[in-house]
Amino acid sequence: MTAYATIETAVEATRKGAFDYITKPFRKERILLTIRRALDWQALRLENVALRQSLQQQKALPSIVGSSPVMMSILNRIKHVAKSMATILIQGESGTGKELVAKAIHSYSERRDKPFVTIDCTAIPEQIIESELFGHEKGAFTGAWKAKRGLVDEADEGTLFLDEIGELSMAMQAKLLRLLQEGEYKPVGGLSTKSADIRFVAATNHDLKERVAQKLFREDLYYRLNVISFRLPPLHERREDIPFLVHHFLEEYGALNRKEMRDIEPEAMSMLMAREWPGNVRQLENVIERGVVMCQSDRITLTDLMPERTDTKPPPYFDEKIFRLPFKKAKDAVIKAFHRHYINAILQQNKGNISRAAEQAGLKRQYLHRIMKHEEIEADGFRQG
């Protein structure tokens, strides 16, 4: 606190560890606000420590991160059902971590020392997926110069993970149903039947009940797969896990890029908490990886996460008045302020192009339109002629 304010003394005070720099004369509300912010900052640092400790405690499931009630319930169910032989169906949007759950089930099962084999039903053309899955005999088709083992054979005594099973053709669904029911299959071009001892885990981002109704998925196969089901929530349904995930990815990509990442600025975390994340955890992971690469210190800033920003000064979400409002009104005011500052910034960066702004923000174009309409923001003012 000083009556002789200069840029030099402000810089020197900050360098020596001052939290804020206040000039006389001042109002008592200004002092109280500064103290509140200092306490909030201290709480954030303690939260960072607690998050790191919690991450260390989850080494049993290092790739599944979250402490929200829904994720804790999923983790408990994984441990409970993993030792059974029941077929498991995992449903959820892309990027929610379906394969991670499948691997966790395998790692907790009695088959953890046996193979975990994945087949992506969307990545393999329909013409060759049967060969990839069941193998083929020499001369079974043009180009089959020698016999080939299938993924079913490789997964024997282990776990076979059928990713995006909703994309399989009806013909392949029938052959897969026999494998699930009887544990038997025939390689392409083979005459003899082979048997396989496999634990099946399947995943899809489709509503299989709806696909059954549309005659796109076999009803008998659906019920055979859906012995035990998991639904993975999208990230916007478990926002309380975002700080936990952020610190997990900071640690992971800090180590990968040989950087010691200490923490993340509150403004940057606020932005991450406010986004919709249509790409779910995978999208958040990509954003944090970019932030770690761009960061030139041990602390992620809003500029690191949004390098397109030309203004690095955080928007003034809080002032003395906000703390005199009831909680709900204060929260609505902060969200409104964030919406206006954030939407204005991305529209300015993209010269009023709403599609590009929505892509940059990770939002659906329609959702961005709704926010703009609600906040009375016009894109025309950002377009350059």
One digit per residue, the tens of pLDDT, for the chain of length 385 reads 887 767 777 777 777 878 787 888 778 888 888 888 888 877 777 776 666 655 544 544 546 788 788 999 999 999 999 999 999 999 999 999 999 999 999 999 999 999 999 999 988 887 788 889 998 888 878 777 888 888 999 999 999 999 999 999 999 999 999 999 988 888 888 888 899 899 999 999 999 999 999 999 999 999 999 999 999 999 988 888 888 899 889 989 999 999 988 888 878 888 888 888 989 999 999 999 999 999 989 889 888 887 665 444 444 555 556 666 677 777 777 777 778 778 888 887 888 888 888 888 888 888 888 888 887 787 776 665 4
**Separation between Cα atoms, residue 354 and residue 347, nearest integer Å:** 7
DSSP 103-165: HHHHHHSTTTTS-EEEEETTTS-HHHHHHHHH-B-TTSSTT--S-B--HHHHTTTSEEEEETG
pLDDT at residue 60, as a whole number:
46
- Are 347 and 339 spatial neighbours (Cβ–Cβ below 8 Å)? no
**Long-range contacts of 208-215, Cβ-Cβ distance < 8 Å, separation of 24 or more:** 208/89, 208/91, 208/166, 211/166
**Separation between Cα atoms, residue 65 and residue 280, nearest integer Å:** 13
pLDDT at residue 276, as a whole number:
83
pLDDT at residue 205, as a whole number:
93
**Separation between Cα atoms, residue 186 and residue 190, nearest integer Å:** 6
Residues 6 or more apart whose CB falls under 8 angstroms from that of 305 comprise 268, 271, 272, 287, 288, 290, 291, 294
Q: Single out the residue of 108, 62, 113 nearest to residue 88, CA to CA.
A: 108
Residues 6 or more apart whose CB falls under 8 angstroms from that of 11 comprise none
Span 138-166, pLDDT tens digits: 887 877 788 888 899 999 999 999 999 99
pLDDT at residue 145, as a whole number:
84
Q: Single out the residue of 165, 168, 103, 179 nearest to residue 135, CA to CA.
A: 179
- Are 371 and 339 spatial neighbours (Cβ–Cβ below 8 Å)? yes
pLDDT at residue 358, as a whole number:
86
Q: Which two tokens stand for residue 104?
A: 């966790």
Provide the terminal-to-terminal Cα distance of the chain, rounded to the nearest Å: 48
Q: Tokens 């303690």 label which residue?
A: 46
Q: pTM of the full predicted structure? A: 0.64
| Angle of CA points 280, 281, 287, to nearest 5° | 100
For 134, other C-beta atoms within 10 Å of its C-beta total 24
pLDDT at residue 115, as a whole number:
93
Question: Which CATH fold would you assign to the domain 69-233?
Answer: Rossmann fold (3.40.50)
Q: Tokens 């499931």 label which residue?
A: 61
Residues 76-114 as b/e (b if ≥16 CB within 10 A, e otherwise) read ebbeebbeeeebbbbbbbebbbbbbbbbbbbbbbebeeb
Q: What is the CA radius of gyration of the chain?
A: 27
Residues 6 or more apart whose CB falls under 8 angstroms from that of 300 comprise 250, 261, 263, 264, 265, 268, 288, 291, 292
**Separation between Cα atoms, residue 315 and residue 309, nearest integer Å:** 12
**Cross-strand pairs, 199:** 159
- Are 64 and 97 spatial neighbours (Cβ–Cβ below 8 Å)? yes
- Are 68 and 245 spatial neighbours (Cβ–Cβ below 8 Å)? no
- Are 280 and 245 spatial neighbours (Cβ–Cβ below 8 Å)? no
- Are 112 and 159 spatial neighbours (Cβ–Cβ below 8 Å)? no
Helices vs. strands in the chain: H and E counts, helices first: 16, 9
Q: Where are the domains of the chain?
A: 7-56, 69-233, 253-382
Q: Give the β-pairing of 184-185 and 194-195.
A: antiparallel
